[in-house]
Amino acid sequence: MPASEIYIEATGTDPDVIARGVVREVHERLRSGLAELSTTHAADGTDQRPSAEIVDFCLHELRRYLAVADRDLYAPAAGDAETRLLVAALRIGAAALNARIDDLAAAFDAARISDLIAALDLQLQIEESVLMPALAGLPSMDPSLLAAGLRAYLAGEQVEEPSVIDVRTIARGGRHPRVFARYAGLAPGEAFILVNSHDPKPLRREFEAIHAGAFTWDYLQTGPEEWRVRIGRVAVDG
């Protein structure tokens, strides 16, 4: 094993431990952000933070996290038989959270924000205590890429559409790793669209070297200024 891949298990140098630490950091930001915004400052209980701030946090910060979680946490486990049902349950929970956000935006009240905070806390607990250990056991999961995606969220980077990855918006050194991370999260038969400014032939050669016979590659647009390729995971017969 190369020296660069050697680490002491269950320490700060373990990629799985690092990824779990980043997940906890993201979760803490969500929890503390909502807690701070929902705090009542006046002794008589009437001087509450403006409801618009809480709604804005939920519509933008929380919804952005739910999209990131689906892309970087749920998708890698969606195609594995051991974790498929867990992911389905988490996606139901995420849909319920999105519905609560819609309700809160339509009519703000303290009961709705309390219910949303409780539902979010349960979702995050399941991610930390059940999903993350399950992800660590998946051979296709790269915890370093998972951590990188969540750090991008912390840095405020825009979340990509689940079905499209535009590498023109990604720094050159991170383009191929991001594409392979997206591929790793596909279930058999699923696909995403790659957008680039040129024919991504080098990337295709990497796919042929690493995933020969397991991927599909279909050109949807071939220049002159924009190239689009549908990349999929081969469906399993039967």
Summarised one tens digit per residue, pLDDT across range 148-184 is: 778 888 887 765 555 788 888 777 777 888 788 778 7
At 139 the pLDDT is 74
φ/ψ of 42, rounded to 5, equals: -80, 150
| Same domain for 184 and 147 | no
At 5 the pLDDT is 44
At 10 the pLDDT is 52
- By DSSP bridging, strand 191-196 and strand 227-233 are antiparallel
At 3 the pLDDT is 40
- What is the count of structural domains for the chain? 2
| Same domain for 183 and 148 | no
Cα–Cα distance between 46 and 21 in angstroms, integer?
37
Domain membership of residue 174 (yes or no) is yes
At 158 the pLDDT is 64
| Same domain for 148 and 70 | yes
| Same domain for 202 and 87 | no
φ/ψ of 164, rounded to 5, equals: -135, 135
At 130 the pLDDT is 94
Other Cβ atoms closer than 10 A to 191:
17
Cα–Cα distance between 37 and 53 in angstroms, integer?
7
Cα–Cα distance between 194 and 140 in angstroms, integer?
20
Joined together, the tokens standing for residue 63 give 């919804």
Closest to 80 (Cα-Cα) out of 130, 141, 19: 141
| Same domain for 80 and 28 | yes
| Same domain for 91 and 207 | no
At 183 the pLDDT is 84
| Same domain for 85 and 49 | yes
pLDDT per residue as tens digits for the range 208-219: 999 999 999 988
At 6 the pLDDT is 44
| Same domain for 169 and 142 | no
The CATH number given to whatever domain includes residue 213 is 3.30.110.40
| Same domain for 172 and 142 | no
Which residues of the chain carry a pLDDT beneath 50? 1-9, 40-49, 238
Q: 């890429």: which residue's tokens?
A: 145
| Same domain for 123 and 48 | yes
| Same domain for 90 and 31 | yes
Boundary (domain end) residue, out of 111, 127, 154: 154
What's the domain range around 216? 164-233
